[in-house]
């Protein structure tokens, strides 16, 4: 009794009930158990400063109430606002539901030794959320159609049917096209992400091109350059684009980083973004609105994406508690955007018009 921290037994003794009762109160919350008993137990818990051990709690049913966030072993993955926002969303939802978040990096040996399986097998985590998966991550094949608690966040795969949560990249491409055409642009270029690696990059490009075509604007392949999602390559891509067609009046970039790189390239040849040339980005990272001029971009709610991903995962691995939660959140569809019911919900996106888009110079170009 006086040794170490209080255990469930101490609480039971203190409040004059059995272990079972305490356990029941700890878990189900509602159901059985009279209010008076509950009060007694609750105050005993308070008095003894009792903290149920997660280890012991998980053992009987092999659940750790911990989720793993897996990220690729990129150089500064942790320093990326993209990952950061998603992780924040995941973390917050998890914390609110008494889940913890474990960090895992998909290093080479992590994959070779199948740590992602081990993680689950040894009950370290109840599920895995993979952010930043690309076609390079072949090991994902293993999860194809499996019922393992594995979710790919913000990418998906042609050949496999993995559980996925993502932003609506097709709409993103269309919004950009509409915006540019509305402004009067007809001579448009595009800096894409690495389409071969990332399906969403391919989709946004395809959607952009298709929508442009619907508006009667043709975007030839030679005016699409891969910017690898980085500032540096975006800059090079813009340079290339300007070489291929110096009359370009607008460019849509697959993400904000490349758009910011494009700014540099434009300036170097004396074209000012927002004045001599229109640039649209995608993602709406913090740097976008701080850029000069502020970058017009497609807003993606990565925080909410993380939230939704985490929610989907918990629904998957903890259906019991979920049902209870559902009861609590009486406000029916609360936060239920993106149709989380489907296996691949898509989060809505929107265009944020800022200063980087102008109309094409009158009579000048085109």
Partner DNA sequence: CTGAAAGCGCTAACAT
Partner DNA sequence: ATGTTAGCGCTTTCAG
The token pair that represents 245 in the structure block: 């067609």
Minimum distance from CB of 95 to DNA (Å)? Answer: 19
DSSP-based three-state secondary structure for 163: coil
Residue range at the interface with a copy of itself (CB under 8 A); choices 36-44, 97-105, 126-134, 331-339: 97-105
Closest alpha carbon to 350 in 102, 188, 227, 178: 178
| Partner that binds at residue 37, options a copy of itself, DNA, none, CB closer than 5 to 8 Å by kind | DNA
Question: What is the Cα–Cα distance from 208 to 170, expressed in whole angstroms?
Answer: 8
Q: Establish if 66 lies at the interface with a copy of itself (CB under 8 A).
A: yes
The binder of DNA chosen from 13, 37, 183, 294 (CB under 7 A): 37
3-state helix, strand, coil in the chain (%, to 5): 45, 15, 40
- Least separation in angstroms between CB 104 and DNA: 21
Q: Which one among 20, 159, 246, 342 touches DNA, defined by CB under 7 A?
A: 20
- Is position 8 an interface residue for DNA (rule: CB under 7 A)? yes
Interface pick for a copy of itself out of 23, 42, 48, 84 (rule CB under 8 A): 84
Sole window of 49-57, 166-174, 185-193, 247-255 interacting with a copy of itself (rule: CB under 8 A): 49-57
Indicate left, alpha or beta for 155 from its phi (over 0: left) and psi (-120 to 50: alpha). beta
Beta-bridge partners for 279? 251
Instruction: Tell me how far apart the alpha carbons of residues 244 and 241 are, in angstroms, rounded to a whole number.
Output: 5
**Residue pointed to by tokens 């909410």:** 304
Q: What b-and-e string marks burial along 114-141, b requiring 16 or more CB atoms within 10 Å of the CB?
A: ebbeebbeeeebbbbbbbbbebebeebe
Distance CA 257, CA 283 (A): 9
Residue 270 burial (CB count, 10 A): 7
Query: What 3-state DSSP class applies to 188?
Result: strand
Q: Is 9 in the site for DNA (CB under 7 A)?
A: yes
Give which of 54, 21, 55, 50 is closest to 38, Cα–Cα: 21
Question: Which residues from 286-305 bind a copy of itself, rule CB under 8 A?
Answer: 286, 290
User: Which residue, 37 or 124, has its beta carbon nearer to a copy of itself?
Assistant: 124
Stretch that binds a copy of itself, among 62-70, 170-178, 196-204, 293-301 (CB under 8 A): 62-70
x/- binding map, residues 48-67, to DNA, per CB under 7 A?
--xxxx--xx-xxxx-----
Please name the residue that has the structure tokens 């320093």: 79
Q: Judged by CB under 8 A, which of 30, 79, 147, 363 binds a copy of itself?
A: 79
Phi, psi (rounded to 5 degrees) for 242: -65, -30
Which region among 39-47, 72-80, 175-183, 214-222 touches a copy of itself (by CB under 8 A)?
72-80
Contact region with DNA (CB under 7 A), list: 12-20, 107-115, 274-282, 327-335: 12-20
Q: Is 91 in the site for a copy of itself (CB under 8 A)?
A: yes
Least distance between a copy of itself and beta carbon 201 (Å)? 21
Q: Which region among 50-58, 136-144, 156-164, 336-344 touches a copy of itself (by CB under 8 A)? A: 50-58
Q: Which of residues 101-120 bind a copy of itself (CB under 8 A)?
A: 101-105, 107, 110, 118
Please report whether residue 43 would count as binding DNA according to CB under 7 A: no
Q: Count residues contacting a copy of itself (CB under 8 A)?
A: 44
Identity of the residue, 206 or 322, whose beta carbon is nearer to DNA in the bound complex: 322
DSSP string, 57-109: HHGGGT--SEEEEEEE--TTGGG-HHHHHHHHHHHHHHHHTT-EEEEEEE-HH
């Amino acid at each position: 009794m006086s040794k170490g921290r209080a255990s469930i037994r101490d609480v039971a003794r203190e409040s004059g009930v059995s272990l079972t009762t305490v356990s029941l109160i700890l878990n189900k919350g509602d159901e059985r158990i009279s209010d008076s008993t509950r009060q007694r137990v609750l105050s005993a818990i308070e008095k003894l400063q009792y903290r149920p051990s997660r280890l012991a709690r998980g053992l009987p049913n092999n659940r750790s109430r911990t989720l793993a966030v897996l990220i690729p072993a990129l150089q500064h993955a942790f320093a990326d606002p993209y990952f950061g926002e998603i992780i924040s969303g995941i973390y917050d939802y998890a914390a609110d539901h008494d889940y913890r978040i474990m960090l895992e990096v998909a290093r080479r040996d992590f994959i070779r030794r199948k740590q992602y399986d081990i993680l689950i097998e040894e009950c370290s985590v109840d599920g895995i959320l993979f952010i930043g998966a690309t076609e390079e991550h072949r090991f994902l094949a293993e999860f194809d159609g499996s019922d393992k608690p594995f979710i790919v966040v913000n990418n998906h795969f042609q050949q496999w049917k993995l559980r996925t949560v993502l932003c609506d990249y097709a709409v993103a491409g269309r919004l950009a096209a509409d915006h540019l055409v509305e402004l009067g642009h007809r001579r448009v270029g595009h800096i894409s992400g690495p389409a071969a690696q990332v399906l969403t990059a391919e989709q946004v490009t395809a959607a952009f091109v298709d929508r442009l075509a619907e508006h009667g604007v043709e975007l030839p392949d030679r005016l699409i350059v891969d910017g690898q999602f980085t500032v540096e390559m975006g800059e090079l891509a813009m340079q290339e684009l300007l070489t291929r067609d110096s009359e370009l009046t607008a460019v849509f970039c697959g993400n904000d980083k490349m758009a910011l790189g494009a700014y540099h390239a434009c300036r170097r040849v004396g074209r000012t973004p927002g004045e001599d040339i229109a640039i649209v980005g995608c993602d709406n990272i913090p740097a976008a609105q701080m850029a000069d001029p502020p970058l017009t971009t497609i807003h993606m709610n990565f925080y909410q994406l993380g939230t939704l991903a985490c929610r989907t995962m918990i629904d998957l691995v903890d259906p019991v508690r979920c049902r209870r939660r559902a009861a609590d959140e009486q406000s029916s569809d609360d936060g239920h955007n993106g149709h989380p019911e489907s296996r691949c919900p898509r989060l809505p996106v929107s265009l944020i018009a800022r200063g980087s888009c102008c109309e094409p110079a009158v009579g000048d170009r085109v």
